Amino acid sequence: MPPSTAEPTAAPGTETPAGTDVPTDGPSSTDGGANLRVVHAVPNAPNIDIVVFGDPALKDETFRQISQYLYLGAEQTALSLVATGNPDRVFFEETIDFEVASYTGIILGEAGNNTDRPLEFRLFEEDLSLPEQGSARLQFVNTAPDAQTLRVVSDDEALFGGVGYGETASTTLPAGSHQLEIRTPNGEAVTTTEVELADRGVYTAFGMGYVNPGNAPTNAPFQVDVAEDGD
């Protein structure tokens, strides 16, 4: 996935088996506008306010926080990210042309100048189409600033062979409980988490924090936080 210019990016979908009827209606309606949730995934950044047309729409977003959805018109929207309590410290400022869709905006990278992964804002258009009966769709996002790629294993089977920094991968799984294990390319386990996927649910697993927190500017160990898309 190329570096963000804050233009909406379609998140990877999954192939539908032949003969399967999949409704296009997703978990949530956009009601003629755009829905946007914001994820703060920058381990060493302060709390952040999301400002829309000059007014704070989301306040005091902490690291690892996955916001509620904001309803926006399907139009050009002036959006900026500023430090909470210090609005002169602007991390991002741009006018974005939203369409009628649901989006996730991820604040990722590192704050400061001494980094190869500067703070940025990447926008993904969500796929809220429903998977077939008995299944759920799970997307994984790698936001670890110190990881090139990460592997995802579920119930001893490889889900994703290598998800690059700032990239996503998506697949369908049987509805129910699953164990996700995140591994480095050489097979070292980073973290393990349990997820519960509802029938025909659509989810995103956000991998946030440092794979090697002992060598990082702040102690923020890598973990996975799962959220239902469109909820």
Per-residue pLDDT of the chain in tens (231 residues, 90 and over written 9): 333 335 444 333 333 232 233 333 444 555 679 999 999 999 999 999 999 999 999 999 999 999 999 999 878 999 999 999 999 999 999 999 999 999 999 999 999 999 999 999 999 999 999 999 999 999 999 999 999 999 999 988 999 999 999 999 999 999 999 999 999 999 999 999 999 999 999 999 999 999 999 999 999 999 999 999 998
Q: Name the CA dihedral angle for 190, 219, 88, 52, rounded to a multiple of 10 degrees.
A: 30
The amino acid occupying position 28 is: S
Q: How far is Cα 168 from Cα 138, in angstroms, rounded to an integer? A: 10
Q: Quick one: which of 17, 33, 36 has its CA closest to 134? A: 17
- Residue tagged 């977003």 (tokens): 61
Whole-angstrom distance between the N-terminal and C-terminal Cα of the chain? 25
CATH number of the domain located at residue range(s) 9-228 in this protein = 2.60.40.1120
Q: How far is Cα 50 from Cα 38, in angstroms, rounded to an integer? A: 8
